[in-house]
């Protein structure tokens, strides 16, 4: 499967007014792509397009709420009307309510699923006809490590991300069966320093935080740009996410115990925040149209992401590790004789 170089692409990015989507939009434009950005926040989109234009890039925007299929379809239609095609569709829009399950209303739970899962489904529905029209392209969906391992206090978001993983697995195999050269990528970030925790609903009585360590949004944006040129099935961003994924695979009860120990206090700051404070669950809020959140001081580097961008090096490292383990087991076996 061959994807175009980024400087020859038309890229639509949904959920682009802040955070990962915003950073990715700027990086695509810097690399020469024509970019269409969308979100609910028109001021955020306008400032993003102005930033891209000031860098010499090409961009336009579409205001849309992803819980409405017709609005999502309008993003795809505008992209093709403006630039003639879609080569890559990046879907990053999400919201959440951080709260014990029993405090979440049915309307809140349904809204998180509508935005965070159904929005992504609608994005694929809107983009696929145009990607098929081109005969190739990339669907890049921003999932979460919560699609592999749910967190307490984030039941609606975790449910939506698990649903997204199930949807993408089914869609990917259907496209392979039909022999469409369209790459379907799930990007699964660990805790990322974006304004997400400023904007979502919270019923903890304090400002919420992700479970540290944090990683910078640029790591996820770099993974998105990599997947736009290199067909990639899954990309876990952040070493802590890779570790949690490994623990969940080998022993879900061990993951339960780990999260029981760290995830409740780990999602609370000491800053009071009322349940009635403005949030973006049902409507956009002002003041957070930026890439980073408030937790740069808790951010650390990620070392294993580069292996995912270099498959020969990755498999060579895994083979070397396996040989090392086998050698150690052989030494221990001989010592037992």
Q: Which structure tokens are listed for 119?
A: 């929005």
Q: Which structure tokens are listed for 78?
A: 């505008």
Determine the Cα–Cα distance for residues 208 and 16; give it in Å rounded to an integer: 22
β-bridge mates for residue 39, sequence order: 63
Determine the Cα–Cα distance for residues 82 and 33; give it in Å rounded to an integer: 13
Q: Say how many CA atoms lie within 13 Å of 79 toward its Cβ.
A: 31
Question: How far, CA to CA in Å, does 204 sit from each of 39, 95, 101, 264, 304?
Answer: 27, 16, 11, 10, 33
| Residue whose C-alpha is closest to residue 61's, from 293, 52, 286 | 52
Determine the Cα–Cα distance for residues 225 and 27; give it in Å rounded to an integer: 8
Question: How far, CA to CA in Å, does 186 sit from each of 14, 107, 153, 183, 233?
Answer: 15, 27, 23, 10, 6
Determine the Cα–Cα distance for residues 263 and 204; give it in Å rounded to an integer: 13
**291: phi then psi, degrees, rounded to nearest 5:** -80, -50
The pairing of beta strand 58-63 with beta strand 88-91: unpaired
Q: Which structure tokens are listed for 216?
A: 């910078």
Q: Which residues are catalytic?
A: 157
Distance between terminal CA atoms of the chain? Answer: 52
Please, what's the b/e burial string for 151-165 (b: 16 or more CB within 10 A of its CB; e: otherwise)?
bebbbbbbbbbbbbb
State the DSSP code for 309. T
């Amino acid at each position: 499967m061959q994807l175009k170089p980024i400087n020859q692409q038309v890229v639509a990015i949904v959920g682009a007014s802040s955070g990962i989507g915003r950073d990715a939009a700027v990086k695509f434009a810097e690399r020469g792509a024509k970019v269409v950005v969308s979100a609910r926040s028109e001021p955020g989109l306008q400032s993003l397009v102005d930033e891209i234009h000031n860098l010499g890039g090409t961009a336009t925007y579409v205001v849309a709420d992803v819980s409405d299929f017709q609005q999502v379809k309008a993003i795809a239609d505008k992209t093709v009307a403006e630039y003639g095609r879609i080569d890559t569709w990046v879907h990053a829009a999400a919201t959440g309510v951080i709260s014990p399950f029993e405090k979440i209303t049915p309307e809140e739970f349904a809204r998180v699923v509508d935005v965070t899962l159904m929005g992504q489904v609608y994005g694929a529905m809107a983009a696929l006809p145009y990607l098929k029209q081109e005969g190739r392209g990339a669907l890049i969906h921003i999932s979460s490590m919560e699609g592999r391992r749910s967190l307490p206090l984030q039941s609606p978001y975790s449910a939506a991300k698990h649903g997204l993983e199930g949807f993408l697995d089914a869609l990917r195999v259907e496209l392979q069966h039909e022999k469409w050269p369209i790459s379907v990528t799930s990007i699964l970030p660990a805790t990322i320093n974006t304004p997400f925790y400023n904007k979502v609903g919270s019923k903890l009585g304090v400002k919420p935080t992700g479970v540290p360590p944090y990683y910078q949004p640029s790591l996820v944006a770099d993974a998105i740009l990599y997947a736009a040129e290199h067909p990639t099935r899954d990309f876990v961003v952040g070493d802590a996410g890779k570790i949690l994924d490994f623990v969940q695979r080998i022993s879900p009860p061990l993951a339960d115990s780990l999260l029981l120990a760290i995830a409740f206090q780990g999602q609370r700051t000491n800053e009071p925040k009322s349940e009635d404070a403005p949030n973006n669950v049902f409507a956009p809020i002002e003041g957070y149209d930026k890439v980073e959140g408030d937790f740069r001081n808790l951010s650390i580097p990620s070392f294993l992401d580069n292996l995912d961008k270099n498959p020969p090096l990755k498999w060579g490292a895994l083979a070397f590790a396996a040989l090392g383990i086998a050698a150690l087991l052989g030494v221990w076996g001989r010592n037992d004789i």
